[in-house]
Each structure stands twice: as C-alpha cells, then as structure tokens.
C-alpha cells in the first residue's frame, strides 16, 4: 500500500512514517499544505492529513482535492477533537478522523480499513485535446508546450469543453454548468468568452479546437477528427 502523510510536526510525521514502513507500507511525507496538495495528485492508496498545516490548512487541502476529482481515501489526524471539528472534517471530504494522541495500532487499523473500500470512480485531473493540455492540479494550461494564461471563468469554460470533447455542448449547458444560470439571461456572455478563449488557445498559428455548430452550440475536438 502507498500512503502519503501530510504533517508539519516532524516528530509525529517520523513516528507515523516509521511505524507504517515497518508494517510494510510505502510512505511519503509532505510537511506543508502546498507540497501535500501537489503530491496528493499522484497515485496513493490513503492520505493521512493534519488539519493545522502551514500554507494551506488541512480542510482547504481536502476540499481542493475533492473539487479536483481526487478521491483517494483520506484520514484526518489532528489535535482538534471536538464534535464540530470532526463534523467539519468529514464534511470537507475526509473519510475518517482520528484525534491525537492516538494509538498507532488504531491508526494502522483505520488506514487498512480505508484501503479496503471499493475504489470510487476517479475524475481525470489531466485533460488533453490534440496538443492542448489542462492540468487541474497545477491550474495550468499549455498548447504545444506554450503556457496559456486564463481568467478563472475561462479556465472553467475550457475545462467543461475538454471534459465533453467530441460531444455537442449547447449554450444552455454552458450557462448552467459554467455560470450557474438555470435560465437564459439573454446576454452574449457565452459567445464573448468562447471567442476570447479561442484567441488565447489558438495563438497566432494553431488550428481551431472549438468548433461552432450553427444554431446548436460548440464541439471541442482535434482538427483531424470529424463530428
């Protein structure tokens, strides 16, 4: 089993990592929130996360991972043991919660229990259409190796189009999924953003990947693919 321990207290991290390694597990340690968030994008069987982390706190880290589709079973290991703290941790997306001080045998048993759970359907965090690539964990878009700077709404729009590549996405679908409108506000917000997005991802010389379907919507696909 491969386990990532995200813990800034070196004594606790060493104790947990040593015990798990002696039990035959492969263990990596991250000592702050940003490093933990980056590392958690790799394939781990279980995450052990402290709540009080520098950089990004444990709650925000787990919420971010879940929003990105990372479903790795996660256990909070923390000194915050109130009922509200536990509820908050589980609501953030953690699967289990253990309060310090703890017995290592209980921690090990809980990790094993989490690893036995049936795997959840994973959501891709690295999207590709032709030479366009979107890394959701790094919040980075590149085309043919060139980095593209996008505004948050443009990033969200592109993610939706890439997740639905090869399929028709209507204006109504984009309004609801990207802007949260459950009605047509009679604005040109979709057309404006698609036009701006096209300009950014095409640059000066790349073929268009966002194809307009007259009176219907848009399809994102590679130039050599047919509808």
Q: Shortest CA distance to 94 belongs to which of 59, 119, 123?
A: 59
DSSP string for 41-109: TS--SEEEE-SS-SSS-HHHHHHHHHHTT----EEEEES--SHHHHHHHHHTT-SEEEESS--HHHHHH
CA distance 84 to 106: 22
Q: What is the pLDDT of residue 225?
A: 62
Q: What is the pLDDT of residue 180?
A: 82
* Block residue for tokens 């043919």: 144
DSSP lists the bridge partners of residue 3 as 27, 46
The sheet with strand 74-78 has its strands ordered as 26-30, 2-6, 46-49, 74-78, 96-99
From its phi and psi, is residue 186 left (phi > 0), alpha (psi between -120 and 50) or beta? left
CA distance 98 to 64: 21
For the segment 40-60, the average pLDDT, to the nearest whole number, is 93
Q: What is the pLDDT of residue 226?
A: 56
> What confidence tens digit (pLDDT) does each residue in 72-128 have?
999 999 998 888 888 898 988 999 999 989 999 999 999 999 998 876 655 678 899
Q: What is the pLDDT of residue 187?
A: 81
Burial 123-157 (b: 16+ CB within 10 A, else e): eeeebebbbbbbebbeeebebeeeebebeeebbbb
Q: How many residues in total does the chain contain?
A: 227
CA distance 174 to 216: 12
Yes or no: say if 3 and 111 are a contact pair by the CB < 8 Å rule.
yes
> What confidence tens digit (pLDDT) does each residue in 140-199 have?
999 999 999 999 999 999 999 998 999 999 998 999 889 888 777 778 899 999 999 999
Reported pTM: 0.56
Distance from chain centroid for Cα 105: 31
**DSSP structural state of residue 5:** E
> What confidence tens digit (pLDDT) does each residue in 186-225 have?
788 999 999 999 999 998 888 999 999 988 899 999 887 6
Cis check: omega of the bond before 226, within 30 degrees of 0: no
Q: What is the pLDDT of residue 121?
A: 56
Q: Shortest CA distance to 89 belongs to which of 117, 150, 44, 48?
A: 48
Q: What is the pLDDT of residue 94?
A: 92
């Amino acid at each position: 089993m491969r386990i990532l321990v995200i813990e800034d207290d070196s004594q606790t991290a060493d104790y947990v990592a040593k015990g798990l390694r002696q039990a035959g597990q492969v263990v990596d340690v991250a000592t702050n929130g940003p490093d933990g968030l980056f590392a958690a994008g790799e394939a781990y069987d279980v995450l052990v996360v402290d709540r009080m982390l520098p950089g990004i706190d444990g709650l925000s880290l787990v919420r971010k991972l879940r929003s990105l589709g990372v479903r790795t079973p996660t256990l909070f290991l923390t000194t915050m043991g109130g009922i509200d703290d536990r509820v908050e941790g589980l609501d953030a997306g953690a699967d289990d919660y253990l309060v310090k001080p703890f017995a290592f045998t209980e921690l090990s048993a809980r990790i094993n229990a989490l690893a036995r759970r049936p795997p959840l359907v994973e959501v891709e965090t690295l999207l590709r259409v032709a030479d366009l690539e979107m890394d959701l964990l790094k919040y980075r878009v590149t085309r043919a190796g060139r980095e593209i700077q996008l505004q948050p709404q443009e990033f969200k729009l592109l993610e939706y189009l890439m997740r639905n590549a090869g399929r028709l996405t209507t204006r109504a679908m984009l309004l609801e999924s990207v802007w949260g409108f459950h009605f047509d506000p009679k604005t040109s917000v979709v057309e404006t953003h698609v036009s701006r997005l096209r300009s950014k991802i095409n640059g000066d010389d790349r073929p268009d990947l966002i194809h307009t379907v007259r009176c219907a919507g848009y399809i994102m696909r590679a130039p050599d693919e047919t509808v």
